[in-house]
Amino acid sequence: MRRTIDWTGDAVTIIDQTALPAEYRLLELRTVGELVDAIQRLAVRGAPALGAAGALGVVLATRAAGDVEAEAERVAQARPTAINLSWGVSRALAKLPEGPEAVLAEALEILDEDERINHEASRLAAEVVLEGCERRPLRLLSHCNAGRLATVGWGSALGVVWHLHARGLVESVLVDETRPLLQGARLTAWELAEAGVPYRIQPDGAAAAAMARGLVDCVLVGADRIAANGDVANKIGTYGLAIAARHHGVPFVVVAPSSTVDSTMPDGTGIVIEERDPAEVLSFGGTKVAPDGAEVFNPAFDVTPFELVTAVVTERGVLRP
């Protein structure tokens, strides 16, 4: 399948995730400003994909007449929670003294690496799931989107589903809709349908009830930043899922590339949580759904304490916090 984000010789090409599932649309981004806008409005999203976007943003900056380092910083600050974005920027920027072609080569290597790394991380995580779940075939629960659309081309947590499905070990996937922007209903469900994996979409608030009814064998999520102690920042609602999973004895497995681990962050209390536009909550499908003057709390992420995590899996191995 086409990569979620790629370099086409003179532009960054992305699958516009704001258009799915109604329309499969590609965007060509030729300036740093266009890339930053795409990142901030979630046309490209997901920590691993943002790492690639960060590196390609530096490539765009080298091709413009301006301050490359200042433009690279604009990209790095476009979204504060996912460490992969600044990681990709830093890695490409380190090649700047060698010239623009060296920057491009490093960015392309990050693209190739991402597919390999997430394939391996999800392969290892599939074995963790099989070790922790007696029932076959499995009923899995996902939150937000951690599939190929969140990466360059394979997927992290949803990559586990691809591995297990290929072995005939997936009965179905419960897909949290993921309010307020419905990345689960719009993106994860689209990917599962494309792959022929049985699934059902559920309201976010139904997850605990599904576990109580014995409908979930394992919860699989990605991550936007993992602290040194194993605390995990991920899409808002992940913390509540982890609490429910612990209460019901359901394994809670986090899958991410090692670039998502922030060894400089001792624990999750220091992770900056992005708060998004109140309009995302005040309206739905273009229709106002709240009274005039309503105040809004709209964090994009929450932090799950390591005590609630069964395992964090990267391409480097399995960490049981």
Same domain, 79 and 149: no
pLDDT (0 to 100) of residue 2: 87
Same domain, 299 and 160: yes
Residue 29, domain member (yes or no): yes
Residue 120, domain member (yes or no): no
The answer to whether 237 is annotated as binding is no
**pLDDT tens-digit readout, 299-314:** 999 999 999 999 999 9
Q: Is the pLDDT of residue 82 over 90?
A: no
Q: Is the pLDDT of residue 43 over 90?
A: yes
Q: Is the pLDDT of residue 187 over 80?
A: yes
Same domain, 155 and 52: no
Instruction: Show the tokens assigned to 189.
Output: 């469900």
- CATH number reported for the structural domain that contains residue 218 in this entry: 3.40.50.10470
Same domain, 84 and 172: no
pLDDT (0 to 100) of residue 131: 96
The answer to whether 213 is annotated as binding is no
Residue 106, domain member (yes or no): yes
Handedness of CA 201, 207, 210, 215 (dihedral sign): positive
Is 319 in a helix, a strand, or coil? strand
pLDDT (0 to 100) of residue 285: 84
Same domain, 90 and 58: yes
**How confident is residue 286, by pLDDT bands cut at 50, 70 and 90?**
confident
Q: Is the pLDDT of residue 1 over 80?
A: no
* Mean pLDDT within 216-244: 98
Distance CA 50, CA 223 (A): 12
Same domain, 151 and 109: no
Residue 119, domain member (yes or no): no
pLDDT (0 to 100) of residue 132: 96
Same domain, 69 and 143: no
Scored b (16 or more CB within 10 A) or e, 97-117 reads: eeeeeebbebbbebbebbbeb
Q: Residue 180: is the preceding peptide bond cis (ω within 30°)?
A: yes
**pLDDT tens-digit readout, 124-179:** 999 999 999 999 999 999 999 999 999 999 999 999 999 999 999 999 999 999 99
Residue 24, domain member (yes or no): yes
Contacts of 217 (CB under 8 A, 6+ apart): 133, 135, 138, 139, 140, 250, 251
* Mean pLDDT within 44-54: 97
Q: Total domain count for the chain?
A: 2
Q: Is the pLDDT of residue 296 over 70?
A: yes
The answer to whether 45 is annotated as binding is yes
- As a whole-number percent, the residues of the chain with pLDDT over 90 amount to 97
Residue 40, domain member (yes or no): yes
**How confident is residue 276, by pLDDT bands cut at 50, 70 and 90?**
very high
Residue 127, domain member (yes or no): no
Same domain, 108 and 147: no
Same domain, 176 and 146: yes
Give the residue numbers spanning the domain of 26: 5-113
**pLDDT tens-digit readout, 119-131:** 999 999 999 999 9
Of the residues 113, 142, 172, which one is the last residue of a structural domain? 113
Of the residues 80, 113, 146, which one is the last residue of a structural domain? 113
pLDDT (0 to 100) of residue 124: 98
**How confident is residue 65, by pLDDT bands cut at 50, 70 and 90?**
confident
Which of 6, 114, 176, 224 does the annotation list as catalytic?
224
Of the residues 84, 113, 142, which one is the last residue of a structural domain? 113
Please provide the distance, in angstroms rounded to a whole number, between the alpha carbons at the two ends of the chain: 35
Instruction: Show the tokens assigned to 21.
Output: 């599932």
The runs of H, that is alpha helices, within the chain are 32-40, 47-62, 68-76, 83-93, 100-132, 157-166, 183, 189-195, 207-212, 238-248, 279-282
- CATH number reported for the structural domain that contains residue 85 in this entry: 1.20.120.420
Is 224 assigned a catalytic role? yes
The answer to whether 235 is annotated as binding is yes
Same domain, 102 and 143: no
pLDDT (0 to 100) of residue 150: 98
Q: Is the pLDDT of residue 284 over 80?
A: yes
Residue 124, domain member (yes or no): no
Same domain, 100 and 151: no
Distance CA 280, CA 258 (A): 31
Same domain, 168 and 311: yes
